Amino acid sequence: MIAVQKSTPFSRTRRSLFGKSPRFADQYELGDLIKQGGSGSVYRAIKKNSTEKYAVKVIDRTKLSKQAEKEILREVDIMRELDGLEHTTKVVDFFVSRKHYRIVQQLAKGGDVQDWVIQNGAYQENEARVVAIKLLKTMQQYHDLGIAHRDIKLPNILLERADDNASVVIADWGFANRIRPGQPLTKACGTPSTIAPEVLADNPSYNQSVDLWGVGCIIYSLLSGHPPYKLRNGDYHALFSQIQQQGGYKSMECKRWANVSLEAKDFVRGLLQVDPEQRWTAGEALQTAWIAGQKDWRRQNTSSSLRGNQPQTAAAE
């Protein structure tokens, strides 16, 4: 089990931004680096006078614009709002100093799903289905609350336990935002190889459906061991053209898909619809034959070729 401490209430944490703030070093010991990202570095940490282990996202404030600082505060706000939902990374503490923001979160002991696939190959179909159900139910909850994650991808899906490749939790809320009626999202953000096609438009205008595109990319990768879209030789134009083309992902008729059911392939196609109006919602995807059916979906793993970093793109909204 992951130790999650319910520490300072968020209202008190927020007030500390405008008054005297507690010091991270007084309460935690910083450990080794877990992951270096575009928005900050994630380290292990131990709560002092205990054995409780956490992950800490450390963000350098000295390099941030005022808009970027607002987005970090929004990230923590949203994480607090989602506190208590299953399959969602829990925020434990939030520290502000002159030079850094530090977001203390639950520690996922199994690493991320991308690393799991690189090391072990594709998921068995029934395993991928379990992950799909968890992701869809969680997306449905987020969207009912009016929140879009906007960067659903393998490295942001963590494993609570190293011995269970379906013990998923969704992480990294740096691009998350609230969706208000009649106010579409307009920020061109995400990860190039998993960004939804509508975000690539000259004047983006989109909603929470981008998260379902991300789920489609994830399940495609779990079933095949390969991403549906891949940046090659730094050619972003070619990558984005492929994403914006209906059915532009790598064919599902090759050998690595030979033992995957037609129902699973149809599920992926339904989420990787270029037109967001044709793309399934989370609720609709939960009613598909692959998800709602009673068939035994087991099959053998295939080898993986997931490799390389997935850089982020961002612009002011």
Give yes or no: residues 218 and 167 share one domain. yes
* Helical H segments across the chain, by residue range: 10-15, 24-27, 66-81, 113-120, 125-144, 209-224, 236-244, 262-271, 282-285, 289-292
β-strand partners of 58 = 41, 102
- Would residue 252 count as lying in a domain? yes
Give yes or no: residues 232 and 288 share one domain. yes
- Would residue 95 count as lying in a domain? yes
Count of the separate structural domains present in the chain: 2
- For the chain, 317 residues long, the average pLDDT of each consecutive 10-residue run is 34 42 89 87 94 95 92 94 94 94 95 96 96 98 97 96 96 93 93 97 96 98 96 95 94 91 96 97 97 70 41 38
266 included as an active-site residue: no
Give yes or no: residues 130 and 85 share one domain. no
**pLDDT computed for residue 21 by the predictor:** 61
Catalytic residue among 151, 163, 202, 275: 151
- Would residue 259 count as lying in a domain? yes
The answer to whether 315 and 187 are in contact (CB under 8 A) is: yes
Q: Give φ, ψ of 129 to 5 degrees.
A: -65, -40
**pLDDT computed for residue 305 by the predictor:** 41
- Nearest to 114, CA basis, from 168, 43, 53: 168
Give yes or no: residues 226 and 84 share one domain. no
Residue 54 DSSP SS3: strand
CA neighbours closer than 13 Å in the CB half-sphere of residue 278: 11
Please tell me the total number of residues recorded for the chain in this structure: 317
The answer to whether 310 and 153 are in contact (CB under 8 A) is: yes
Give yes or no: residues 95 and 213 share one domain. no
Give yes or no: residues 161 and 221 share one domain. yes
Q: How wide is the angle at C-alpha 300 spanned by C-alphas 137 and 242, nearest 5°? A: 60
- Would residue 19 count as lying in a domain? no
How many other C-beta atoms are found inside a 10 Å radius of the C-beta of residue 316?
11
Give yes or no: residues 211 and 287 share one domain. yes
**pLDDT computed for residue 10 by the predictor:** 42
Q: Give φ, ψ of 9 to 5 degrees.
A: -55, 150
- Would residue 283 count as lying in a domain? yes
- Would residue 15 count as lying in a domain? no
- Nearest to 194, CA basis, from 224, 232, 157, 152: 152
Which residues have CB under 8 Å from 139's CB, separation 6+?
149, 152, 208, 211, 212, 215, 282
Please give the Cα distance from 223 to 267 (Å, whole number). Answer: 11
**pLDDT computed for residue 233 by the predictor:** 94
Which residues have CB under 8 Å from 240's CB, separation 6+?
192, 195, 200
- Would residue 127 count as lying in a domain? yes
Give yes or no: residues 100 and 123 share one domain. no
**pLDDT computed for residue 77 by the predictor:** 95
**pLDDT computed for residue 30 by the predictor:** 95
**pLDDT computed for residue 223 by the predictor:** 97
Please give the Cα distance from 312 to 290 (Å, whole number). Answer: 32
Give yes or no: residues 48 and 172 share one domain. no
- Nearest to 195, CA basis, from 152, 225, 143, 232: 152
Give yes or no: residues 31 and 147 share one domain. no
pTM recorded for the entire structure: 0.86
Give yes or no: residues 130 and 200 share one domain. yes
Three-class SS of 124-147:
CHHHHHHHHHHHHHHHHHHHHCCE
CATH number of the domain within which 90 lies: 3.30.200.20
Q: Which residue has the tokens 């981008």?
A: 210
Residue 198 DSSP SS3: helix
Of 50, 84, 106, the one marking the end of a domain is 106
Of 50, 81, 106, the one marking the end of a domain is 106
How many other C-beta atoms are found inside a 10 Å radius of the C-beta of residue 61?
14
Joined tokens for residue 201: 């438009």
The answer to whether 139 and 145 are in contact (CB under 8 A) is: no
**pLDDT computed for residue 153 by the predictor:** 97
Of 77, 106, 135, the one marking the end of a domain is 106
Enclosing domain of residue 202: 113-292
Give yes or no: residues 195 and 253 share one domain. yes
- Would residue 316 count as lying in a domain? no
CATH number of the domain within which 277 lies: 1.10.510.10
